[in-house]
Amino acid sequence: MTENSGDGTRARGRRRVVVVVVGIVVVGLVVAGVAFVALSGGALFGGGAVAASPSASASPDASEPVATPSPSPSATEPAVPDAPVSRVPASCDELLPQETAEALAGAALPVQPVRQSASPVFYTDLRVGMLECAWADSEQSGDAVAAAQATLQILPGITAEGFEQEAQREGVYIATPEPSIGPDVYSACAESGLQPTRCGYIALVGGYAVALSAVGPQLDRDAVREQFITVRDAVAGFGEPGPLWQPAEGALAGATSCDTLIDPATLAVALGVEGVRPFKSDEGEYASSRFGSRAQVNSYYCSWSPDPPTGGTDVTASVAVLPGGAGYFEGWADVAEQVYEPAPDYPGEAYLAATETPGITELVVLIDGAWVRVVAPDAALLPVVETVLANIGAG
């Protein structure tokens, strides 16, 4: 899965043929840290038909020869992809081409370069088959928003509950109903002397969440609305989303809470502290994915701090898991500043990397198609990752 250099290290500039596409959404419309990119839609896939074998008929006279039927040729089974694929049967050229994006923002918008993350849950929306089209006039830095941009995201397999959670979640603020457009449609449009004009819409239609947003000092709000309606109507004709891709190893149980990653008592013992409490987790304002998409694969992250506080580092340990996401690590390792050294003493295909905090190390484990990341004191890495792997059904 990974390609090592001659000395076995994974460092910046060493690539395999892996394409990872990550997106960006306007501040107030999605959590920070999502990358820009324009992505072409992938085809749906499924099992092919197999011809039934004909059965021989009994002869009325055993002395008569029985004809042996010729076998019917069987249909060729379609190849199963070896990585997650888009489950949206359309492309950016069809739904938000560059010229349309530029018309919405009122500015020239080149496609944005792919951005990566050290955290596997960063890729959850892509893992479930999202189509994303993103254009911006400058590269995003941290939480900052480009002066002009337009972004379309379509996520398959979204439930009504997940959609409502996204519309109402703290930090998103896109909960203005738009009944004149249709049910399950919300908007958020604002103008400020300090911020570029921005406008966004979300909708749930036929199992897909649709999110269109644009930012720009010359933003055409009416055009954003009309383009959103056009895209929503197109998505309504898609039919049910195709099957979720799973690795050859099969789907893992994953995690749905901090405690299902590792229980507090076990973690406290591994860390040598009296107790721990969750410091930050994959919920609400800090959710790493949109529209509850993580429920499709049970990706999750959690960070803990000592309880009671020890006066040391604020975050004692953090764990993140993305079942079926092992392939995304290649994209991150290729651009990361830190060097990932092979770690044969750990389960699966493992790598270690130093962090900025002395005595705290990052451990990456690629196993059963999953990407697991643990950041903890050196002595705690092995017991923590072994417990996490057992809990998510890996190994």
Whether residue 170 is found in the same domain as residue 296 = no
Its domain, for residue 282, covers 258-392
pLDDT value at residue 39: 35
Q: Which amino acid is at 242?
A: G
Whether residue 117 is found in the same domain as residue 192 = yes
Whether residue 201 is found in the same domain as residue 303 = no
The count of domains in the chain is 2
Residues 159 and 184 sit within 8 Å (Cβ to Cβ): no
Whether residue 204 is found in the same domain as residue 292 = no
Residues 203 and 232 sit within 8 Å (Cβ to Cβ): yes
Final residue before a domain boundary, out of 206, 236, 266:
236
Whether residue 181 is found in the same domain as residue 314 = no
The reply to whether 77 falls in a domain is no
pLDDT digits (tens, 9 = 90+) for 14-72: 333 333 333 333 333 333 333 333 333 332 222 222 222 333 333 334 334 444 444 44
Whether residue 96 is found in the same domain as residue 232 = yes
The reply to whether 244 falls in a domain is no
E runs forming strands in the chain: 131-136, 149-156, 176-177, 185-190, 198-205, 208-215, 276-281, 300-306, 317-322, 341-342, 349-354, 360-367, 370-377
- Would you give the distance in Å from CA 80 to the centre of its chain? 20
The reply to whether 323 falls in a domain is yes
With a cut of 50, say whether residue 377 has pLDDT above it.
Answer: yes
Q: What's the whole-number average pLDDT of the chain?
A: 80
The reply to whether 11 falls in a domain is no
Whether residue 321 is found in the same domain as residue 193 = no
Indicate which CATH number applies to the domain containing 341.
3.40.1000
pLDDT digits (tens, 9 = 90+) for 251-306: 899 999 999 999 999 999 999 999 999 989 999 889 999 999 999 999 999 999 99
Least confident of 3-12, 98-107, 179-188, 291-300: 3-12
pLDDT digits (tens, 9 = 90+) for 72-88: 444 555 566 778 889 99
Q: Which residues lie across from 202 on neighbouring strands?
A: 186, 211
Whether residue 207 is found in the same domain as residue 299 = no
The reply to whether 85 falls in a domain is no
